[in-house]
């Protein structure tokens, strides 16, 4: 009797071993390198996704470099990288050239000033009208901080804008009814560059993607910076429903609730030269749209709706 039991157990173990061997042979073995470049806006999120994905797939290497949305699009269309990060709308002419894209998360652009700005408290309590931002970045009719605040502070405004083709510049310009090339000011490369330029200039004003305006640990504005509230209804004061800039979670909730306008809130995209055929690239993007979404809020970004994510997954399958 014991011999029969032992024999039966051996058969079961052999069958299990065979089944595992067959599954292992059939299971996809992800191995290789995925190259990614582009928008500063998406860079911290992409780095987090890469770190987590490589933990699950140790034979996969993901190389990521920032350089602006324009670079991400150009690199993707040229086939220089597998995935371009683009933090703005995709243009029809880019689609004609072969740009295939999916939205992967959402964030926003905010105006920033130095925390020592002479009218900082006035701006933080009243906010700034869209028309005033136009006078700063487009028409240049606002030349001193008195023109912005209505106070007697006659110090000159030092305006900063992005020198690289970028989603932040395009989205901020779109909010002002223009294009990035219409924005005036001293050109500075990259999100970190703008933030640092304003941090060093008590009379400076610029704009940043939210993950470069807020500290990832404290969730408050980066030391040396203040985020300028938008006076959305233009009544010359910051109403309670417009007061959501104190911490990053507050602003994120305002974006989710559509209290912060779009633009300058917007969707961030992964772009490829055509629907990716590489199993390696396809598997990574699908993971980003599914399991990878759990890392979005903790990294300071906003999840797309489930319906939107489902639509992106169908797009990957050519539907």
Instruction: Tell me what percent of the residues of the chain surpass a pLDDT of 90.
Output: 90
Give domain 32-107+266-316's CATH architecture.
Answer: 3-Layer(aba) Sandwich (3.40)
pLDDT of residue 83: 98
Chain mean pLDDT for the chain: 92
Q: In which band, very low, low, confident or very high, does the pLDDT at 29 lie, cut at 50, 70 and 90?
A: confident
- Tell me the backbone φ, ψ of residue 73, rounded to 5 degrees: -65, -45
Where does CATH 3.40.190.10 sit in the chain? 32-107+266-316, 108-256
Is CATH 3.30.360.10 what the domain over 108-256 is classified as, yes or no?
no
User: In this predicted model, what pLDDT tens digit does every residue of 274-292 receive, in sequence order?
Assistant: 999 999 999 999 999 999 9
Q: In which band, very low, low, confident or very high, does the pLDDT at 318 lie, cut at 50, 70 and 90?
A: confident
Q: Beta strand pairing status for 83-86 and 186-188?
A: unpaired
Instruction: Compare 39 and 4 and report the one with higher pLDDT.
Output: 39
Share in percent of the chain as helix, strand, coil (round to 5): 45, 20, 35
Helix (H, G, I), strand (E, B) or coil at 309: helix
pLDDT of residue 24: 31
User: In this predicted model, what pLDDT tens digit does every residue of 7-21 receive, in sequence order?
Assistant: 443 333 334 333 333
User: In this predicted model, what pLDDT tens digit does every residue of 19-28 receive, in sequence order?
Assistant: 333 323 333 5
Residue whose pair of structure tokens reads 């920033």 in the numeric block: 112
pLDDT of residue 16: 38
């Amino acid at each position: 009797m014991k011999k029969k039991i032992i024999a039966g157990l051996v058969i079961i173990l052999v069958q299990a071993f065979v089944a595992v061997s067959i599954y292992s042979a059939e299971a996809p073995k992800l191995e290789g390198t995925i190259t990614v470049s582009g928008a500063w806006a998406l860079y911290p999120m992409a780095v987090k996704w890469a770190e987590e994905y490589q933990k699950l797939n140790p034979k996969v290497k993901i190389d990521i470099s920032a350089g602006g949305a324009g670079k991400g699009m150009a690199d993707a269309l040229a086939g220089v990288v597998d995935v371009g990060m683009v933090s703005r709308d995709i243009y029809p002419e880019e689609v004609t050239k072969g740009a295939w894209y999916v939205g992967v998360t959402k964030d926003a652009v905010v105006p920033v000033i130095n925390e020592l700005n002479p009218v900082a408290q006035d701006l933080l309590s009243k906010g700034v009208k869209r028309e005033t931002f136009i006078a700063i970045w487009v028409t240049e009719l606002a030349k001193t901080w008195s023109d912005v605040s209505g106070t007697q502070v006659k110090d000159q405004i030092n305006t900063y804008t992005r020198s690289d083709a970028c989603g932040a510049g395009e989205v901020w310009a779109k909010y002002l009814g223009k294009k990035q090339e219409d924005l005036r000011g001293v050109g500075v490369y990259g999100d970190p560059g703008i933030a640092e330029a304003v941090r060093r200039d008590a009379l400076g004003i610029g704009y940043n993607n939210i993950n470069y305006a807020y500290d990832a640990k404290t969730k408050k504005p980066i030391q040396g910076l203040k985020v300028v509230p938008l006076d959305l209804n233009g009544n010359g004061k910051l109403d309670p429903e417009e007061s959501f800039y104190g911490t990053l979670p507050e602003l994120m909730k305002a974006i989710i609730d559509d209290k912060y306008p779009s633009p300058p809130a917007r969707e961030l995209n992964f772009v490829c030269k055509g629907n990716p055929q590489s199993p390696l690239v396809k598997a990574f993007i699908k993971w980003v749209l599914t399991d990878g979404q759990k890392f979005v809020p903790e990294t300071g970004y906003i999840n797309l709706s489930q319906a939107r994510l489902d639509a992106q997954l169908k797009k990957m399958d050519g539907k």
